Chains A and B, each alone.
Chain A
Amino acid sequence: MTGADRGPGAALAAASALAWAVLLFGGGAVSVPALCAAGAVLPPGAALEATLTVTPLAALALAWGLMIVAMMAPLLPAPLAHLRARSFAGARTRACAGFLAGYGLVWAAAGVPLVALALTLRLAAPGDWAPALLCLAGAALWQAAPARRRALNRCHRLPPVPAFGAAAALAPPDFGIRHGLWCATTCAPLMLVTLLVPAGHLLAMALAAAWLGAERIERPFPPRWSFRPPTRLARAALARLAPFRRGRLTPSAARSTFAPARALAREVNDAR
């Protein structure tokens, strides 16, 4: 492949959109909370193993995987674009696949305790909002913590990419694992909240994905206790709408205003 590289943004957006479509239209068969709820028909106090016989592990794994693709793919254009730019044209796909394998491995591993915890809590108190709210409070505290900020800052790290030999094969999965660890450290508590809500799982997922996506395009800042909501995306959107606010929008200006507004999401994906 030697043509001008279009970047990974479009492919990642498509993967995410596909996962969202399956989650939206696939019903309970592919949603972790729905699968958890299936276990709740058992008598109170039933063991986790009994639940897992009702809800096969494979179904849980598939549902968890869909969640990760839907929510995390939009966060990955920067590392993948870096890998593509710094690899030989013929090795770009392999490098990206290696990264995604490492990254996916981390989230697969993180899924075991997260889904198990979600199952346990939901079985202990079916339909109860308390675990979700408690977890949300914890996620809010984590959001303000310096350790989380440190992890989030490291999500912006773009290391040198070896070009030859075993190092070229091993570096992308290694980068994927490291990136995945920082990413999971940053995102896991919010992911748990989306698993614990007794209703509106997909809405919770969408809100969490928007939050995590918005904060990923903020500039890194030094770790300290501070709760700083990500506002850059909103400010960018407002700037595009400035002509409306100034009250001097003509039809042709409206066209030229909407055109970039429509392009905004695509641009965010491609450019970051």
Chain B
Amino acid sequence: MTFVRRNVHELGQPWADELLWYARGVKAMKARPLADPTSWTFYGAIHGIHRGLWNFYGITQPGDPDPSQADQDTYWNQCQHGSWYFLPWHRGYVLALEANVRSEIGKLGGPVDTWALPYWNYFKTGQNGLPDEFASPDWPDGTGDNPLFVVQRWGDGPGLPIVLDLSLINLSAMGLTDFTGTANGGSPGFGGVDTGFAHGGAVHGGIETQPHDFVHGLIGGGDPNDPRLPGLMSTPPAAALDPIFWLHHANIDRLWASWVNETGVGGDPTDARWLNGPASIGERAFTLPMPDGTAWTYTPGEMRDMAALDYEYDDLTPDGAAMLVAAQAGARAGTARGGMMAMAADTKTTELLGANTGALPISGDTATRTAVRMAPEPRARSRSAFAAAGPEGGAEKVFLNLENVRGLADAAAFKVYVGLPEGARPADHPDHMAGGVALFGVSQATEAEGEHAGSGLTYVLDITPIVTRLGLDTDKLHVDIVPVRPIAKEAEVSVGRVSVYRQGE
């Protein structure tokens, strides 16, 4: 029996069976207390828990007992971000939640043999709106305790329907050929960086940065009256409480399956440390509570093949448009010609080309501009590499790094433009847009006592097309950072350094 995950916008009718039974399952899980490993809140805490925020929002009460310390140590705060474990951990997490919801569906006499989570493919034409079933506080019969509805979903403003701005999210990661990236200024890879014995995970991988992080921020947003209060989806220690989280992650998971099938020349990592998961480097194993009371321990190696897990997606084209498959096939052929692109990231040369001076505070809603001063010698090396590679650029790539991004607003997001002329309006120059960055998880990365020791997060954007168009003749490359929504000064958002790197042979 193979479970099929289907497009939530193409289920045929409002409140189709998949969503009705999902809602019933969620309701049953929400009825359980935090201390129960199969409760909705416990499952949320597996991703991450901020008890003060949960109490403030009324999701838990201050008097609700915690589970045992052993259960907390085994299960809570497991989510893998800024790491090459991001995709496999979340695949298992969605599978396990599905098993728990399915168990509830079984108890209610529902379609236990066929039910699977739908996915939300916001990239497909006309499907960037939050599905209506999640946006209404009512069940289809008009009663008002729809468990799929969440108040703290402030993406487009309180009470406004959520429609994701497609100019802010993209599928650029699908074009990356290496799963594993590096944390030294070059490509962060499709799946993320091998963090090894280091911790921190300061660099988010390609698919994690776009669209994953950005969609989180666009849905969750922040309380417009208090910048310290994120929407549930905007912050890792609350995100999985929102039922839409699971449809978003089903889509990210689908994109992984699609990448492996269509684009991923190198495929998934074959390194034993990836296959065997964090337990092989002395970290906690991936472990999730199952409905029968057992603990399911899994590894990335076991998550590679969806078919072996008895799952499939009804459509693996990234944005649901058939024409893209052909485009990808072309990209794949181009990559094969390039040859170098399939090389392991750590065998490439990565070096700093230039950097700005001083930290860059970001607030308000207007562009913050900084100049990246380019050093002559590495610039000359990059130019000759581009010249040697011919018009296609070959393996030579240029990356913009936003380093040590710190702040207290997880919902903050900005667009980044490169090489805009002085006085130009960023919105008039979409061809200068390097990408978008959403600060999902930045507040935790800013805590001095947190995993990142307060160093913040680092984002890497591929600016090769822009730089090849502009040429590398300039001593200064201007970078404009434009907040998507106003960022309060009190949120203390800043970029520690803006830098440009080359990566090539």
Contact = CB atoms under 8 A, between A and B. Distances in A.
A117 to B, nearest CB: 30
A154 interface: yes
Contact of B196 (A232, A239, A271): A271
13 contacts: A4-B347, A86-B185, A154-B448, A158-B202, A159-B404, A161-B497, A162-B355, A163-B355, A163-B373, A163-B497, A236-B280, A239-B279, A271-B198
B354 A158 contact: no
A231 B282 contact: yes
Contacts of A157: 448, 453-455
Interface stretch (A46-54, A103-111, A183-191, A214-222): A214-222
Interface residues of B, number: 48
Interface string B364-388: 0000000001010110010000000
A6 B479 CA distance: 31
B interface secondary structure, majority:
loop
A220 B197 contact: no
Contact of B348 (A4, A85, A86, A150): A4
A167 interface: yes
Interface stretch (A13-21, A31-39, A87-95, A200-208): A87-95
Nearest to B351: A89
A255 interface: no
A232 B283 contact: yes
A235 B197 CA distance: 12
Contacts of B497: 86, 160-163
Contacts of A149: 449
A167 to B, nearest CB: 7
Interface string B207-229: 00000000000000000000000
Contacts of A220: 199, 449-451, 453
Contact of B403 (A154, A160, A223, A235): A160
A84 B349 CA distance: 13
B449 A272 contact: no
Contacts of A237: 282
A151 to B, nearest CB: 11
Given A4-B347, A85-B184, A239-B280, A272 B198 contact: yes
A237 B404 CA distance: 33
B455 A158 contact: yes
B308 interface: no
Interface string A213-254: 000010111110000000111111101100000000000000
A144 to B, nearest CB: 16
A85 to B, nearest CB: 4
Contacts of A156: 199-200, 452-453, 455
Contacts of B185: 85-86
Contacts of B283: 219, 232, 235
A149 to B, nearest CB: 8
A153 B447 CA distance: 11
Contacts of B198: 78, 271-272
Contact of A150 (B194, B202, B449): B449
| Best-buried of B283, B354, B381 by chain A (most CB within 10 Å) | B283
Interface in B391-428: 403-404
B197 A271 contact: yes
Q: Which 7 A-B pairs have the closest CB atoms?
A: A271-B196, A236-B282, A160-B496, A232-B282, A85-B184, A163-B355, A235-B282
B171 interface: no
B346 interface: yes
Nearest to B185: A85
A3 interface: yes
Interface in A247-272: 260, 267-268, 270-272
Interface string A137-153: 00000000000011001
Given A159-B404, A272-B196, A223 B449 contact: yes
Contacts of B108: none
A85 B403 CA distance: 12
Nearest to B195: A271
A152 to B, nearest CB: 10
B352 interface: yes
Contact of B359 (A4, A90, A160, A268): A160
Contacts of A234: 282
Contacts of B355: 162-164
Contacts of A271: 194-198
Contacts of B378: 2, 88-89
A90 B377 contact: yes
Nearest to A165: B357
A225 to B, nearest CB: 14
B272 interface: yes
Interface in B179-199: 183-185, 194-199
Contacts of B381: 2
Interface in B330-371: 346-352, 354-355, 357-359
Nearest to A231: B282
B351 A164 contact: no
Contacts of A86: 185, 352, 403, 497, 499
B309 interface: no
Given A153-B449, A158-B455, A164-B357, A88 B199 contact: no
Contact of B351 (A2, A219, A231, A270): A2
A233 B282 contact: yes
B280 A153 contact: no
Contact of B183 (A3, A85, A153, A161): A85
A164 B355 CA distance: 8
Interface in B461-505: 496-497, 499
